[in-house]
Structures are given as C-alpha cells and as structure tokens.
C-alpha cells in the first residue's frame, strides 16, 4: 500500500550526509547529525534554525542514556555529549586501528548500544563490523560487513535487525538476540530491497520495521515476517534514516543526503539533504535508553 501523507520540510540544510535522528522526549526536540560536516543538530519539531555543535571527528549514531544525556558513536569510539558541547570518551574497540569510522546504531531493550563500522576512507580495505557496547566494554559481534546499516530491535527484545546497504550485498537480516547475554544467533534474510538499498531503520508500536530505501527515494514498512505492507514516496532520492518523534510518537522524521551520484542533476532535487517529516497513524516505539556502559554494573 502506498501512503501519501503531507510531507513537510523541518530544515532545508542541506546536510551532506544527514543521519542518526533521535527524539528527546524530555527536551521535546529532535537530534541528528551530518556525518561529513562533523556536526550535531538539535531543534523542535516546529522547525527553524537548529542549535548545532561541530566536532573534530565524524559523529554517526545517537542514543540517550537514562539521565537524558546524548551518547554519540563517533570516529572510532563512543562518547557522552556534555552540556558545553564537548565529547567525553566512554569506550573504543581494542586494536581498532585506522581506516574506518562508526556508522549506524541502536539500543536494545536491555540498554546495550549496538553500533557498526564502515571503512573510511572508502577503499581502505578495513572490514565492516558490528559492535555491542555494554558494561563489559566494546565487543565485536559480527564481521564481514561492507556498509553496515539498518539496526533495530523488536518490541520483545529477542530479534535484532541489521542491514548491509552495499550494492553488492543489499540485504536486511534478522538474528535471534539473547537478552541475558547479548549473543546473536540464527542469522536469516529478513528482506531484500528491489528498488533501492536498505539504510537506517526504526520499529513502530505494531512491531513493524521501517527502513529508508536510499536511491529509491522512499520509506518502506515491513511486517514482522518481512512482507512490504506500506511505502511512502519522498521528495529526496537518498533518505538515510528515520525516527519517530513528537509527544505521541506519530511524527516520522527523515534525514537525507545532498551528495548525489554523478549522473543525477542536483537542480532536479532541491530538497536533497533536507530534514523531512510527516504524520502516521501507528505510533513508533520509543528506544530504550543506554543503561549499561563500561564501568557500570
């Protein structure tokens, strides 16, 4: 079913690589990043000019902890965003080296922060990897990835979703997630996009998986069995990730990229890199705050 909501522009940007949107319910504002500009933005849903901070490293995935502080996966580690805009280091993978950066992330229902890495600069030859951040530190869980994306966890906390949006892979997988240990098992194909590639994702209150189909210019809603049940066409060809926002979590906010393929005319896509929003009937599921960090019991 093709949905046709009224889509509004919250911020024209343009972001080079807009990513990682999250809703802060206490502050009633949306946060997102521009990875390549090394910026984090925050603003109310009414729109306007965002309050922004620039970092020395590229930010990627965002989450909230139990105190409402923002946890940022950036560069090659995880940080806490302080009130003055500084980043306080929390953890980094051991022996991580260079040639990569953090990419997409999500929390599970038990407060762990899952984050993947991709090679940066492209062509560096570093293998993509999925990490689990918890009280024990940063553990590599899955290797062999090309362009990690699509992280989300089911409402009951027992299924983790992960995509690889590299053109040569382009698949969304589901895993059984052991809530007690954080171990993954039973990897299987959940969905294979046909029009574009599987980018960032979110779960709604009916346990359906929404993902941004980059290069197809749309969002896709999947049933828990992987069937397409709804799509939303967007005025940008490269949406990157979505988040449910607002007091009732019925506003979907979508980040996008202004960097387009060489064969695409930027003049035909004036909203590329904009932050977009529209309303939906089914509310989203609020992500669980990060509650287990290194040094915490």
For residue 103, say whether it is annotated as part of any ligand binding site.
Answer: yes
Question: What is the DSSP code (8-state) at residue 16?
Answer: S
CATH number of the domain that residue 270 is part of: 2.120.10.30
Short-list 244, 296, 295, 293, CA closest to 71: 293
How many independent structural domains does the chain possess?
1
User: Is 110 tagged catalytic?
Assistant: no
Residue at 196 is within a domain: yes
Residue at 36 is within a domain: yes
pTM: 0.96
- pLDDT tens digits in sequence order for the chain, 297 residues long: 888 999 999 999 899 999 999 999 999 999 999 999 999 999 999 888 899 999 999 999 999 999 999 999 999 999 999 999 999 999 999 876 788 999 999 999 999 999 999 998 877 778 899 999 999 999 999 999 999 999 999 999 999 999 999 999 999 999 999 999 999 999 999 999 999 999 999 999 999 999 999 999 999 999 999 999 999 999 999 999 999 999 999 999 999 999 998 777 788 899 999 999 999 999 999 999 999 888 665
Residue 224 CA to residue 126 CA, distance in Å, equals: 33
Domain membership of residue 271 as a residue range: 2-279
Q: Which of 199, 207, 265, 297 is catalytic?
A: 199
Residue at 288 is within a domain: no
For residue 199, say whether it is annotated as part of any ligand binding site.
Answer: yes
For residue 149, say whether it is annotated as part of any ligand binding site.
Answer: yes
Residue at 284 is within a domain: no
Residue 284 CA to residue 11 CA, distance in Å, equals: 22
């Amino acid at each position: 079913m093709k949905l046709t909501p009224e889509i509004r522009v919250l911020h024209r940007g343009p972001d080079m690589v807009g990513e990682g949107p999250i809703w802060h319910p206490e502050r009633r504002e949306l946060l997102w990043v521009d990875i390549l500009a090394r910026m984090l933005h925050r603003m109310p849903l009414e729109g306007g000019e965002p309050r922004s901070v620039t970092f020395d490293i590229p930010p990627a995935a965002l989450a909230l902890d139990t105190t409402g502080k923002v946890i940022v996966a950036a560069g090659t580690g995880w940080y806490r965003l302080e009130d003055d805009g500084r980043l306080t280091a929390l953890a980094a993978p051991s022996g991580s080296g260079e040639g990569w950066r953090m990419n997409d992330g999500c929390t599970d229902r038990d407060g762990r922060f899952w984050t993947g890495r991709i090679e940066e600069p492209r062509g560096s030859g570093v293998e993509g990897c999925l990490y689990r951040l918890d009280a024990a530190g940063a553990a590599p869980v899955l290797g062999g990835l090309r362009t990690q994306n699509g992280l989300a966890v089911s409402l009951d906390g027992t299924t983790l979703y992960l995509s690889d949006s590299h053109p040569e892979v382009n698949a969304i997988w589901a895993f059984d997630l052991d809530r007690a240990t954080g171990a993954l098992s039973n990897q299987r194909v959940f969905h294979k996009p046909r029009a574009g590639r599987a980018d960032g994702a979110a779960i709604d209150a009916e346990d359906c998986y929404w993902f941004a189909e980059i290069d197809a210019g749309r969002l896709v809603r999947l049933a828990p069995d992987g069937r397409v049940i709804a799509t939303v066409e967007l005025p940008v060809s490269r949406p990157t990730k979505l988040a449910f926002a607002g007091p009732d979590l019925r506003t979907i906010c979508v980040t996008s990229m202004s960097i387009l393929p060489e064969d695409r005319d930027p003049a035909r896509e004036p909203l590329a890199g904009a932050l977009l929003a529209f309303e939906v009937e089914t509310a989203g599921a609020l992500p669980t705050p990060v509650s287990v960090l290194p040094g915490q019991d």
